[in-house]
A and B are shown apart, each in its own frame.
Chain A
Amino acid sequence: MVRPDQRILVLFAHPGQRYSRANRDLSKAASGVDNVTLIDLYALYPRFKINIEVEQQRLLDHDVIVFQFPLLWYSVPALLKEWQDLVLEYGFAYGEGGDKLAGKCFTCVVTTGGPEEFYRVGGRNNFPLRDLLAPIEQTARLCGLRFVPPYALFAAHSAAGDDRLPRHVDGYRRLLEALRDDRLDMEAADQMRLLSAETLPMRRTAQTEVKR
C-alpha cells in the first residue's frame, strides 16, 4: 500500500496583511505542513498582473486546491476574484477540453468579521455563510472539483484575543494533513454545512489508494 501524499496548493489572498492576525497565523501554520505550497497572491501580484500560464501550471502540479481569505463584502478579495476570472479559462478549467482540474479536491478557508449569529436568515447578514459562498462552490463544481465544505472562523478579530484562534489554527493544520494523507472522511464532511476545528471528520487510514 502506497501512502497517498496529496500535494496541496493554498492560494492566500489578503490585501491588508499588516492588520491581520487570524490569517497571519493560519498561513504560518499552512506553510509548516509538508507538501503544502502557500502562495501569497497579493505579494506575488501587487499590481494585479496575474501570470496565467504560471498559475495554471501550479494548479496542474497539485491535487488539492485551497482558497484562504477573509470574507470581504460577502465575497473573496478582489485579487482572488481576478485570479478566478483569468486562470480558470475555458478549455482549461471548463468547457470543451476543459477538464484539467477534474477530480482534484477543493475547499476554502474563510475568516469573517461578524460572529456566527449574524450569518443566519433574519440575522444581520441575512444569509448563512455557506450560502454566501455558493458562487465559489458552483465554480468548483463546474470545474469538476470535489468540493469540501468551507473551514470557517467567525468573528476572527475577537478570536485573536482568546483561545479560539489557536484552536482554529491547529484545526487548519490537521485539516491540511488529513487532506494530504487522504484521511478526511469525505462522506461525513458532505453532511456538514461548514467545517470547524471541533467538527473535523477524520478517518484512521487513507480511504483510497493512489498510484503514482
Chain B
Amino acid sequence: MTGLLFQVFVYLCAAVVAVPLAKRLGLGSVLGYLIAGIVIGPLLGLVGSETQGIQHIAEFGVVMMLFLVGLELEPRSLWNMRGRLLGLGGLQVTVTIVLVMAASMALGQPWSVSLAIGLVFSLSSTAIVLQTLNEKGLMKSVGGQSGFSVLLFQDIAVIPMLALIPLLALPELMNHTSDAVALAGAGAGTGAGAEHHGAEMSLVTGLVGWQIALVNIAAVAAVVAGGHFLTRPLFRYIAAAKLREIFTAAALLLVVAIAFLMTLVGLSPALGTFLAGVVLANSEFRHELESDIEPFKGLLLGLFFITVGAGINFALLFDNLWFVLGLTVELILLKAAVLFCLSVLFSMRWADRWLFTLALAQAGEFGFVLLSFTTKNAVIPPQVADLLLLVVALSMLLTPALFILFDRVILPRLDKGQQRPADEITEHGTAIIAGIGRFGQVINRVLKGNGYQTVVLDVSADMIDMFRKFGIQTYYGDASRPDLLNSAGLQEAKLLVVAIDDVDRAVEIVSHARRERPDIHIVARARNREHVYALYKAGANDIVRETFDSAVRASRYSLEAFGVHPHEAEKLVTVYVDHDRDAIRRLARLYDPDLPITENQPYMKLMKEIQAETDAALSSHTPDVHDRVKRAWLPPGSHPDEFD
C-alpha cells in the first residue's frame, strides 16, 4: 500500500512541479511531462522498471483522446477528410517505410529487419501531436487537420503492420521466441499494450482470414449502430437519475467497453473509440461526455509522457550517444523531408506546410508497441531494438522543441515576409445559451433565425429530447459546471445568455464566465430584484427581469383601457421604466450579498426615499414627470395646466 502511494505521490509530484513550470517557460505541457519523467526516472532513480507496465495503462489516454477528437468531428467532416486521410496518410506511411528501409539496408541490416524498422519509424506520436495542437489551438488549421488525417491513417495502418511483422521473423532468432509465434496471424489487438492482453482473450484466434474480416466488420458496425441507437436512450436514462458521478462512470464505461471489444477482435481500440466519438458528435450529450472524459484523458496522457521520459535508458544512451543522436536527427530529417514534399504536393500554405512538417517528424508511441512486438516475434534482434527504442523516445522528446522552433522562429519569419496567409477564422463567434426553458427558447430562435451560431445547454433530458425533435441543437449538462461551460466553447464564444431557473447557479455561471472571459458579453435573466443585484455584482452586462417587461406592457394596456391614447400611454410607462431602472441601479450599489435586505440599513433607507420619489413622480400633477409627456406637443404659448 505504501509502495503504491509512494509511486502515485512521485508521479503526481513530478507533474505538478514540472508542467506549470514548462508552460510558464513557453515549452508546452508535453515537454514538461517528459522532463518530469526524466527527472524521476534516470536522474533520481525514484521510479524504475515498473514504468513499462504503467505505460501500457497510460496509453489508454490515447484511446480517450481519440474519442474526444471524434466527438469534435461530425460524420460529414470525417467524410470530407477522406481524400487527405487516404492520400496524405497513405503516401506518408508508404514513402517513409521505403526510405527508412533503404537507409537501414545501406547501414548493413538485412531486408527483413530494415522493413520492420521502416514500419516502426513510419508512425508518429498521436499523443504528443494532438495534445500540442489542441493546446496551441492549431487543430482546425489546414496544417493541423492534415496532421490529424495522417495520424488517423497511421492508427489504422498499425493493424496490418501487426499482421505483417510475424512473417518477417528471422530463423536464427526463432528458437528464443517460439511461444510468441502463437500470436502471429490474427495477432492481437494494438494500441494499449497490444501484445499483453492480445494473448489473454481474443475472439478471432483460430479463424481464417475472411472470417476475421467478417468479425471485424461486425464489431465496427456494432460500435456505429450502438453509438447511434443505444447510447442516447441509455444516457437519457442515466441523466434522469441526476447523479453526476454515474454519468461519468457511464462515459468511462462506454470508452472502456469499446476499447475492450476492439481488442477482442484484434482492431485498434483508438480507432474504435474514435468512431464512437464521431457517431456521438451530433448527440445532445456531446459536451457532457467531453467534460467527463477530458480529465481522465489528460491525466493518463500526462502519465504516458512521464513514462516515456522515465523509460529512457541513459546508460545505453551515453554509451552510444553520438550514434543514437545521429540516428535520431537523421530520422527526423528524413521524416520531415517526406512530410514537406507531401505538403508541397497537397499545396498547403507556408505556415501550414511548416506546421505539418515539424509536427509529425517524430516516431511515436506505436513505435514502442511495434518494437516490443518485433522482438517477441524474432524480427529485430534485442540489441538493435534497444537502440531503436532510444531513437523513438529521443525523437518524441525533441518534438516539443520542433514546435517551439515553429512558434518562435518560423511563424515570426512568415509574419515579417509578405507570404503571410490571410488569417483563417476557424471559429465563428457563437452564443452559449444556458437554459432552454420558455425564456431561452425565444432567444435561441431569434439568434438562430438571424444566422448566429448557438450552443444550448440544459439539465432536463426530457426538454432536450423535445427540442431535438424540433431540430434545435441542445446539449445535456449543468451549465454551472465550469468544465462543461468550457467544452461548450466559453473561451471562443462572443455571448453568454444565462436563462436557467436556479437563482444561485445563474450567479455562479455569470461570475465564472466573467472570471474566465473578461471580454465576453453576458445577458442574464433575473428572477427578482435581489437576483438582479447578485448578477450585477457577478458581472453580467445586461440583466433582464423576467416579469418586468410583461408587467410594463400589461400596465400600458391598462392605461389604454381607461382611454389614454396609446402614444401617451407609451410615454407614461416609459417614465415609470426609466425611474425604476435608475432606482435599481442606485440600490444595486448598496446591496450586500451577505446581509438580508431588511437588515441592510443604507439599502432600506434609499429604498424608502426612492419609493417616495416614484410615487410623487407618477402622480399626474408633478411638473417633473408629466411635463415629459406633455412638453413637446403643447400648442405654442400654452401652459400644461390649461389642459388638466
Contact = CB atoms under 8 A, between A and B. Distances in A.
A42 B567 CA distance: 6
Interface in A7-49: 14-20, 42-44, 46-47
A164 interface: no
A49 to B, nearest CB: 11
Given A18-B643, A19-B643, A113-B636, A46 B566 contact: yes
Given A16-B630, A18-B643, A113 B566 contact: no
Contacts of B637: 113, 157
Given A16-B630, A18-B643, A19-B630, A43 B635 contact: no
Give the interface centre of B565, B567, B632, B638 by most chain A CB atoms within 10 Å.
B567
A14 B567 CA distance: 10
A14 B635 CA distance: 12
A43 B567 contact: yes
Contact of A42 (B566, B630, B635): B566
Contacts of A43: 565-567
Nearest to A17: B565
Q: Name the interface size band of chain A.
A: 10 to 19
Given A16-B630, A18-B643, A19-B643, A157 B635 contact: yes
B561 to A, nearest CB: 13
A43 B559 CA distance: 13
A34 B632 CA distance: 34
B632 to A, nearest CB: 7
A20 B566 CA distance: 15
Interface string A170-211: 000000000000000000000000000000000000000000
Contacts of A14: 633
Nearest to B640: A19
Interface centre among B632, B635, B638 (most CB of A within 10 A): B635
Interface string B19-42: 000000000000000000000000
Contacts of B225: none
B552 to A, nearest CB: 12
A15 B632 contact: yes
B635 A18 contact: no
A46 B637 CA distance: 26
A23 to B, nearest CB: 11
Nearest to B636: A113
Interface in A135-180: 156-157
B635 A19 contact: yes
A76 to B, nearest CB: 14
Interface residues of B, number: 15
Contact of B567 (A46, A113, A114): A46
Contacts of A16: 568, 630, 632-634
Contacts of A20: 635
Interface centre among B568, B632, B633, B637, by most chain A C-beta atoms within 10 angstroms, is B633
Contacts of B630: 16, 18-19
Interface string A110-133: 000110000000000000000000
A160 to B, nearest CB: 9
Interface string A49-79: 0000000000000000000000000000000
B569 interface: yes
B570 interface: yes
A93 to B, nearest CB: 26
A47 B635 contact: no
Given A16-B632, A19-B633, A46 B569 contact: yes
Contacts of A44: 566
A15 B631 CA distance: 11
Contact of B633 (A15, A114, A156): A15
Interface string B611-644: 0000000000000000000101111111000010
A19 B634 contact: yes
29 contacts: A15-B633, A16-B568, A16-B630, A16-B632, A16-B633, A16-B634, A18-B565, A18-B568, A18-B630, A19-B630, A19-B633, A19-B634, A19-B638, A20-B635, A42-B565, A42-B566, A43-B565, A44-B566, A46-B567, A46-B569, A46-B570, A47-B570, A113-B635, A113-B636, A114-B636, A156-B635, A157-B635, A157-B636, A157-B638
Q: Closest 9 interchain pairs by CB?
A: A16-B633, A42-B567, A46-B566, A46-B570, A46-B567, A113-B636, A157-B635, A43-B566, A15-B633
Interface of A: 14-20, 42-44, 46-47, 113-114, 156-157
Given A16-B632, A19-B630, 20 more contacts: A15-B632, A16-B630, A16-B633, A17-B565, A18-B565, A18-B643, A19-B633, A19-B635, A19-B638, A42-B565, A43-B566, A43-B567, A46-B566, A46-B567, A47-B570, A113-B635, A113-B636, A114-B636, A157-B636, A157-B637
